[in-house]
C-alpha cells in the first residue's frame, strides 16, 4: 500500500466546508469521488484540517492510500479534469506509509481580508468594514496572543477535541492597499472557528469597544461568550500547511 499527499486549492464559496456533511456538498466529498472514479474503488481522504463553510484554501494538504504505485503527473492531470472549476490539484507526492496529513502537520497559516471599500468584483473574498478600525491597537492586542496557549474563548462550543491548547507563532495585521488589510495568523493547530473569533474580537479592540487589557481578560476567562462575534467565513483563506519532511 502506497500513501500519497495531495496538494490542492479551492474556492469554498459553494461548499459546506472541507469535511463531508450529511446535508450539503463538501470539498472532501468531491475529492474522494474524483479519486474513487480514477482508481475504480472507494478512496478515503484525510485532510490537514477542517475549513468551515465558505472558507477558501490556497493550499490544503490531504492524504490517501493506493494499492498500486501511481503516475503522479498523470493523476494530477486527470483529477483536474474531473474536479469542479473551483478546485485544483497542484501535486501528488508519495510519502512513507505512516505519514499523516493532519497529525504530522507542524503549523497551519490562515489569512483574513477586510476592506473599507465597496468592491463589487471582490466582495466574496473580503469582509466589508464601514469604518476604519485602529489597526495599530489591533496589532498590539494580537501580540498578547503569544502569551497564552489555552484559547477556549475563541473555540466553537461543544467540539470533540481533547484540548483547547494551541501555540501561536505569528499574528499580525498588514496593509495591502489604501482600502484593504490582511490578518495573518500561524499556529501549530487551530480550534473550530478560532480564527474568525480572534478576528472578530480584535475588531472590537479596533473599534474602541475593548481595551488591550480587556482582550487579555477575554482569553483568560476561557468563555466563548466573552469574545467578539465571529466574522464571516468568505474572507478567510488557509494559505499554508507545513511538515517536518
Residue with cell 481578560: 217
Q: Is the domain of 225 the same as that of 114? A: yes
- Claim to verify: residue 43 and residue 122 sit in the same structural domain: no
Same domain, 230 and 124: yes
What DSSP designation does 186 have?
E
User: Does 132 share its domain with 213?
Assistant: yes
Hey, CA dihedral for 6, 26, 102, 51, is it positive or negative?
positive
Does some domain include residue 101?
A: no
**∠ CA(83), CA(86), CA(87), 5° rounding?**
50
Catalytic residue among 52, 104, 150, 177: 52
pLDDT in the model for residue 45: 98
* Number of domains within the chain: 2
- Model pLDDT for residues 210-222, shown as the tens digit of each residue: 999 999 999 999 9
The parent domain of residue 35 ranges over: 2-95
Quote the pLDDT of residue 158.
60
**86 catalytic per annotation:** no
Within a 10 A sphere around the Cβ of 77, how many other Cβ atoms?
11
- Name the CA dihedral angle for 77, 18, 7, 13, rounded to a multiple of 10 degrees: 70
Answer yes or no: is 41 within a domain.
yes
Q: Is the pTM of this model over 0.75?
A: yes
In the predicted model, what is the mean pLDDT of residues 90-107? Answer: 97
Residue 159 pLDDT:
65
Last residue of a domain, one of 95, 129, 146: 95
Q: What is the pLDDT of residues 184-214, one digit of tens each?
A: 999 999 999 999 999 999 999 999 999 999 9
pLDDT of residue 173: 98
Same domain, 133 and 62: no
Q: Are residues 55 and 121 in the same domain?
A: no
Per residue in 152-166, pLDDT tens?
Answer: 999 987 666 778 999
CATH number of the domain where residue 83 is located:
3.30.70.580
- Average pLDDT on 103-130 reads 96
What does the alpha-carbon distance between residue 83 and residue 103 come to, in Å, rounded to a whole number? 26
The pLDDT assigned to 162 comes to: 79
- Same domain for 230 and 151, yes or no, is yes
Amino acid at each position: 500500500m502506497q500513501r500519497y499527499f495531495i496538494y490542492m486549492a479551492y474556492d469554498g464559496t459553494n461548499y459546506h466546508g472541507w469535511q463531508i456533511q450529511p446535508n450539503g456538498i463538501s470539498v472532501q466529498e468531491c475529492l474522494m469521488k474524483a479519486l474513487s472514479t480514477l482508481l475504480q474503488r472507494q478512496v478515503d481522504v484525510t485532510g490537514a484540517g477542517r475549513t468551515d463553510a465558505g472558507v477558501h484554501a490556497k493550499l490544503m494538504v490531504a492524504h490517501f492510500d493506493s494499492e498500486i504505485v501511481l503516475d503522479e503527473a498523470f493523476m494530477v492531470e486527470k483529477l483536474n479534469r474531473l474536479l469542479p472549476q473551483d478546485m485544483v490539484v497542484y501535486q501528488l507526492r508519495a510519502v512513507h506509509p505512516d505519514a499523516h496529513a493532519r497529525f504530522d502537520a507542524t503549523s497551519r497559516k490562515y489569512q483574513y481580508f477586510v476592506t473599507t471599500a465597496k468592491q463589487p468584483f471582490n466582495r466574496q473574498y473580503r469582509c466589508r468594514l464601514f469604518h476604519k478600525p485602529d489597526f495599530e491597537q489591533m496589532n498590539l492586542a494580537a501580540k498578547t496572543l503569544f502569551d497564552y496557549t489555552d484559547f477556549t474563548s475563541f473555540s466553537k462550543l461543544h467540539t470533540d477535541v481533547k484540548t483547547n491548547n494551541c501555540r501561536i507563532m505569528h499574528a499580525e495585521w498588514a496593509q495591502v492597499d489604501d482600502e484593504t488589510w490582511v490578518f495573518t495568523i500561524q499556529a501549530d493547530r487551530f480550534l473550530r472557528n478560532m480564527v474568525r473569533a480572534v478576528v472578530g474580537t480584535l475588531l472590537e479592540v479596533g473599534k474602541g469597544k475593548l481595551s488591550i487589557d480587556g482582550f487579555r481578560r477575554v482569553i483568560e476567562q476561557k468563555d466563548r461568550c466573552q469574545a467578539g462575534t465571529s466574522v464571516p467565513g468568505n474572507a478567510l483563506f488557509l494559505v499554508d500547511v507545513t511538515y517536518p519532511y
